[in-house]
Chains A and B, each alone.
Chain A
Amino acid sequence: ILNVEQSPQSLHVQEGDSTNFTCSFPSSNFYALHWYRWETAKSPEALFVMTLNGDEKKKGRISATLNTKEGYSYLYIKGSQPEDSATYLCAFSTSGTYKYIFGTGTRLKVLA
């Protein structure tokens, strides 16, 4: 059974703090790793798709790295703002089946 784990489950940070989360996935049969942001009462929104070992992606204050050999990805938020408060989900897809397997998410609350 393929399992995707995210840590921490939740965290609170002060406005202006930088923070990071981890997504761990099976290193075999890797195809792609997706990051989504899901704000309360809204649709999950795609942040990044990462496919190559060593990939680094950036979107404003948010960036992500990928290590397919050891099976993890980090998401970084620099200078957190209250509008960054959301659940951050990662999803792993395997070669062959292309099925997306989601982690349980990291719930971030940024305090003003």
Chain B
Amino acid sequence: EAGVAQSPRYKIIEKRQSVAFWCNPISGHATLYWYQQILGQGPKLLIQFQNNGVVDDSQLPKDRFSAERLKGVDSTLKIQPAKLEDSAVYLCASSPGVTGKETQYFGPGTRLLVL
């Protein structure tokens, strides 16, 4: 079974530039999550999709971050414009459902550095 794919693996940009990350979840997984992990902190949920609908985006900075899940499969997360404090690892995860007991399967993450 193929795992969760993410690209790019690394990205360096200057502040005020735009950046986009892509995630392909495990086939058949209905739920997709984007997390932000800042150095020294735990992963923080940015947005959660159930199929192609948003379940939770309460911690997504909507003035600069946007995300979509195309046809309930792949997802993109965009930052426009980036700030220095956006430097972090962006993790995508998927799970079959959304019960809270289900294991989340993670991709390798995208390491973003904003200069």
B23-61: which have CB < 8 Å to A?
A: 33, 35, 40-45, 56
Q: Does B98 have its Cβ within 8 Å of any Cβ on chain A?
A: yes
Q: Cα distance A97–B91 when bound, in Å?
A: 21
Main secondary structure of the interface of B (DSSP, over half): loop
Which residues on A sit within 8 Å (CB–CB) of B104? Answer: 34, 46, 91, 100
Interchain CB contact under 8 A, A44 and B91: yes
The contact of B103 among A6, A34, A43, by CB within 8 Å, is A34
Which of the segments B14-22, B65-73, B106-114 contacts the partner chain? B106-114
Q: Does A69 have its Cβ within 8 Å of any Cβ on chain B?
A: no
The contact of B42 among A34, A51, A104, by CB within 8 Å, is A104
Interchain CB contact under 8 A, B103 and A41: no
Interchain CB contact under 8 A, A98 and B43: no
The contact of A93 among B40, B44, B101, B106, by CB within 8 Å, is B101
Which residues on A sit within 8 Å (CB–CB) of B107? Answer: 43
Tell me how far the C-beta of B10 lies from the nearest C-beta in chain A, rounded to whole angstroms: 10
Tell me how far the C-beta of B36 lies from the nearest C-beta in chain A, rounded to whole angstroms: 11
Interchain CB contact under 8 A, A44 and B106: yes
Interchain CB contact under 8 A, B99 and A98: yes
Apart from A31-B101, A104-B41, list 4 A-B contacts with CB within 8 A.
A36-B106, A43-B109, A102-B35, A102-B44
Q: Can you list 27 A-B pairs with a CB-CB distance of less than 8 A? A: A6-B42, A31-B101, A32-B101, A34-B103, A41-B108, A42-B108, A43-B3, A43-B108, A44-B91, A44-B106, A46-B105, A49-B102, A49-B103, A89-B43, A91-B104, A93-B100, A93-B101, A94-B100, A97-B100, A99-B45, A99-B100, A100-B45, A100-B100, A100-B104, A102-B43, A103-B42, A104-B40
